Amino acid sequence: MGAERKWLFSLFLAAFISFLMFLSFISGFSSSYNNAFSSQKPSDSVLRGPGHPPAFAYYIFGGRGDAERIFRLLLAVYHPRNRYLLHISADGGDDERSRLAALVKSVPAVRAFENVDVFGKPDPNTYMGSTNIAAVLRAAAVLLKVGGGWDWFLTLSAMDYPLVTQDGMLILSSFMFGTGVLLVYFPGVVCGLVRIPVFILAQLWSQRIEPIVVDPGFYLARRTQIFHATEKRPMPEAFKVFTGSPWVVLSRSFLEFCIFGWDNLPRTILMYVNNLILSQEVYFHSVICNSPEFKNTTVNADLRYFVWDDPPKMEPHFLNASDYDEMAKSGAAFARQFGKDHPVLDMIDKKILLRGRNRATPGAWCKGRQSWLVDPCSQWGNVNVVKPGPQVKIFEESINKLISDRNSELDTCT
């Protein structure tokens, strides 16, 4: 009798799993069927320009072992209006890049809107080296080429995570970025934006700007670290050096200025920062503040929540569940850094993003039935309509304060 019950239970379990797979197939097929027989491609339904929400171009990057983390972050910040470029650096393998590409293609909306790309040929990423800024500029160039219609470029690493839905970001970005460029700085280390005692400023320049370093990532296949030359160089006279946070949000017009280079300034500064420590904390800041066209179009914030050790280390410490309440109240758009699949990410998914496992963050564009069996974002409606999420009020208050502070100090590049 016991053997017969086990057999019946196994049969029931197999039938139940088959039923779930059938429902999943029907859901995906329904979405694909509707798109296949529509007279209009889904991407054609994305409306741009005045009267419609803006769009972000996300560059999301990581290293070896980060494929699943990058995919989870993509789902957390996904919206059909945006454009995404995913990059696993050269220390990762081709099999990992292929796995990431397969995960991306498993999302019905991504297949339909065709707005996510994965770098097949990776760039090196040397810690503290200038290969980082080279990779960011390449990503910007690719996004300018393949992704028409986006307005703002935003960088995220695999250790970042959003604290606001994409609908909320799109709602507020219309006035949030109305000045032309949002450039983010690292409070307390920003030379030219905050008044720093002369002896501290001299020490900062001596440690960060004057040393000459070489990034072996440009010419060695294996991963290695930067090495220092024996001599230092004086501060430049042709332009003024500015420094700040590596996490930036930049306008399309400014990136076109950097990439297409109708003025020689972006190339000149790029050549200079090639031999700097942490050049990604200098390049965009110096270009913007030395350009008459873009000077003083900055906002002094990086929209991120950090918790630093005392004294501060090179990176903020890893966030956990005890940090959740402060994160949620911070008004930041993103937080870092998080461990892989840490439970605090599940808390953010559940309480802020309202996102199910292996599903995109739902927004007004998601029209599928909400259930544990069906992904609401496997079917969609008007992607030009957005609605506030749980954190949008706190985020709005934070942005209003940033704009107010900026308006009180018109000269942000002195």
What residue ranges do the domains of the chain occupy? 52-188+245-408
pLDDT of 147-179, one tens digit each?
A: 778 988 999 999 999 999 999 888 876 555 444
The pTM score is: 0.84
pLDDT at 23 over 90: no
| Highest mean pLDDT (candidates 167-181, 216-230, 279-293, 345-359) | 345-359
Per-position DSSP letters for 231-267, written without gaps between them: EE-PPPSSS------S--EEEHHHHHHHHH-SSSHHH
Closest CA to 103 of 92, 118, 93, 125: 118
Instruction: Check residues 135 and 46 and name the one with the higher pLDDT.
Output: 135
pLDDT at 143 over 90: yes
Instruction: Check residues 69 and 316 and name the one with the higher pLDDT.
Output: 69
Residue 315 pLDDT class (50, 70, 90 cuts): confident
Mean pLDDT, residues 8-29 taken together: 46
Residue 264 pLDDT class (50, 70, 90 cuts): very high
Instruction: Check residues 315 and 102 and name the one with the higher pLDDT.
Output: 102
Among 43-57, 92-106, 123-137, the range scoring the smallest mean pLDDT is: 43-57
CA distance linking residue 285 with residue 185, whole number of Å: 8
Mean pLDDT, residues 279-305 taken together: 86
User: What is the distance, to the nearest Å, from the Cα of residue 254 to the centroid of all Cα atoms in its chain?
Assistant: 18
CA distance linking residue 275 with residue 130, whole number of Å: 7
The fold adopted by the segment(s) 52-188+245-408 is Spore Coat Polysaccharide Biosynthesis Protein SpsA; Chain A (3.90.550)
pLDDT at 275 over 70: yes
Kind and range of the H or E run holding 363: none
Sign of the alpha-carbon dihedral angle for 383, 388, 394, 396:
positive
Contact 241, 273 (CB under 8 A): no
